[in-house]
Amino acid sequence: MRGDLAPGARLKIQELVKRYSAGAIPVREALSRLTTSGFVDAKDQRGFSVRQVSASELLDLNRMRQLLESIAVRDSIEQGNLAWEAHVISAHHQMSRLNQFSEFDFKTLNVEWEAAHDEFHKAIVSACSSPWLLKFIEVIRLQSARYRHISVRAKPTAERDVKGEHKSILDSVLERNADLAIEKLCAHFTKSATNALTEGLVSQGLSTSALPIKHSYQVQNAKTLTLDSSKSKIKIRTRST
């Protein structure tokens, strides 16, 4: 998921055995599991390869992540107690104390920061009352991680105030302002997706003809989210009753 192996790269068993100092059987089992999870492709007579990335998949992942996490955040804010607030604050504090990038490479994420980042986003929705919704969110979050590493290699990433974005998400969650929290969260996702599309995917020769994109869909309590990636902006409208 960190992008050490290029999309489409062949995954040869013997090379992986040497690289990870593991037996051939465990390597095959791992590749089979990764195939099931959608990170590796397996083709008859051609073996295994790293799954390709595409603009269309990223757009779909971004749209679904916004839709599902918007529902989960609203429910989490409604259901969360003081212990949940403390958990969110603690997760944010740990993330904010770490450097986002590796000290050796400004375009490589710090492994510890990335783990803390995931925990912060999990903490926000952890009070959601639907275990199935949280499972679906986790699947999409893992699939989105591949594109996050493409995004951080893009020039706009260095100009982003990622720390400020997370702080604004935290503040709106603690204020129990679900509409604002959803707006900040979705804008945060879209900035990463837009960076990957406009810079990272272009460098890999993949089409970005789908940009700009605009999606509208209903979420809880008759809220309408409109995503416009050309402006990295989310609009929330309440339908009149």
Tens digits of per-residue pLDDT, 109-124? 888 989 999 999 999 9
| Mean pLDDT computed over every residue of the chain | 79
Q: What is the pLDDT of residue 36?
A: 76
pTM exceeding the 0.75 threshold for the entire prediction: no
Which of these, 195, 65, 199, 84, lies nearest to 134 by C-alpha position?
A: 65
The CATH class given to the 10-50 domain equals: mainly alpha
* Distance of alpha carbon 69 from the chain centroid: 11
Q: Give the residue with greater pLDDT, 240 vs 169.
A: 169
187, 234 in Cβ contact below 8 A?
Answer: yes
Quick one: tokens of 151? 């995004």
Q: Is residue 173 very low, low, confident or very high in pLDDT (cuts 50, 70, 90)? A: very high
Could you give the percent of the chain with pLDDT greater than 70?
73
Q: What is the pLDDT of residue 104?
A: 73
pLDDT, tens digit, 9 for 90 and up, residues 144-159: 888 876 766 655 555 6
Domain boundaries, the chain: 10-50, 55-209
Span 55-209: which CATH code?
1.20.120.530
At 201 the three-state DSSP class reads helix
